[in-house]
Amino acid sequence: MLQSLASNSCVRLIQNHKSTWYFVSLVLGYLLYLVFGAVVFSSVELPYEDLLRQELRAIKKQFLVENECLTEERLERFLNKALDASNYGVSILNNASANWNWDFTSALFFASTVLSTTGYGHTAPLSDGGKAFCIIYSVIGIPFTLLFLTAVVQRIMVFSTRRPITYIHTRWGLSKPLVAIVHATLLALLAVSCFFLIPAAIFSALEENWNFLESFYFCFISLSTIGLGDYVPGEAANQRFRELYKVGITVYLILGLIVMLVVLETFCELQQLKQLRKMFYLKKEKPQDRLAILEHDHLSFTTVSCAAAGQNDGKTQPFVSVPTLASPNDDPMIQ
């Protein structure tokens, strides 16, 4: 008997807090996914890092042997200075001296990466005034960009998703969830083709040191706003039409970001994903539950009021019954 009661109470507890258990499982799954990514990246990249370190040590040692007049301390100071300048996008190589990082087109490209929160990191403000302006510009510009993207995506969604799905559903009588799934899949394939595959082929042709995989990697890292900065187009020394190329990349990033948001919003409107999201959300208080709570409170207040009235009646009730007089002449004392 006790075991059955305990099992029933456990089942009721789980059912009443189902969304909480789903949320806990979601958090645990996310943490496990983070650990899984760390293990894979570490196991794949650590050997390459160790090999690169050994090669650099060997090159440095060979250079010091061939140039005995140069001490290791002076070489370290020179390398530190060169690396610090490289972190700001300034290179000491002869073939890179012709490219300026802060001409108008490069500054326009930098502004687009700041506002879209991509932030490649290949170029950074050098002066204190530039750093201060970057903070103020970002504080105003990033919310402005979010407002701009939200308004654009909302208008595009009407013509790219909602009206086509409604038209096909009413014209051919197909199931609306099925039409939405097929439409979202076709839209995703079109976006991948136009903003990943085709641009990757173009970048691999324009950039001398990029293959197709590296170009596709750049497109994905850019349009997902990860922006690692290990691949940045238009930075080659002999880049032709560099200014026009930078403007074209800026337009590509803005349009690609809009398309990615449209695709994500289309998938978020799928009925299946909406039901999946509701599993992890807190349940809203229903009107029936609110009415039941109000009725319970009203019933409790009425019960307390009646009990208080009964107690007051008991206190004022006399112990000796007094007859009711119809007129003053009925009083025996007056008689």
Q: Rounded to whole angstroms, how far apart are CA atoms 203 and 226?
A: 19
Q: Rounded to whole angstroms, how far apart are CA atoms 249 and 229?
A: 14
Q: What are phi and psi of 197, to 5 degrees?
A: -70, -50
What digits encode the pLDDT tens for the residues 256-266? 999 999 999 99
What digits encode the pLDDT tens for the residues 65-106? 888 888 888 888 888 888 887 777 677 765 555 677 788 888
Q: Which of 54-58, 178-182, 242-246 has the lowest mean pLDDT?
A: 242-246
- Helix axis angle, 72-87 to 18-66, nearest 10°: 140
Q: CB neighbours of 164 closer than 8 A, spacing ≥ 6?
A: 183
Q: What does the block give as tokens for 79?
A: 């390398």
Pick from 214, 316, 311, 247: nearest CA to 103:
247
Q: Where residue 118 falls among pLDDT bands split at 50, 70, 90?
A: confident
Indicate the pTM of the whole model: 0.73
Sign of CA dihedral 42, 47, 51, 54: positive
Q: Rounded to whole angstroms, how far apart are CA atoms 323 and 326?
A: 10
- pLDDT surpassing 70 at residue 316: no
At 103 the pLDDT is 84
In the chain, the amino acid numbered 259 is V
At 29 the pLDDT is 93
The winner for highest mean pLDDT among 5-19, 262-276, 312-326 is 262-276
- Is residue 122 a contact partner of residue 246, using CB atoms and an 8 Å limit? no
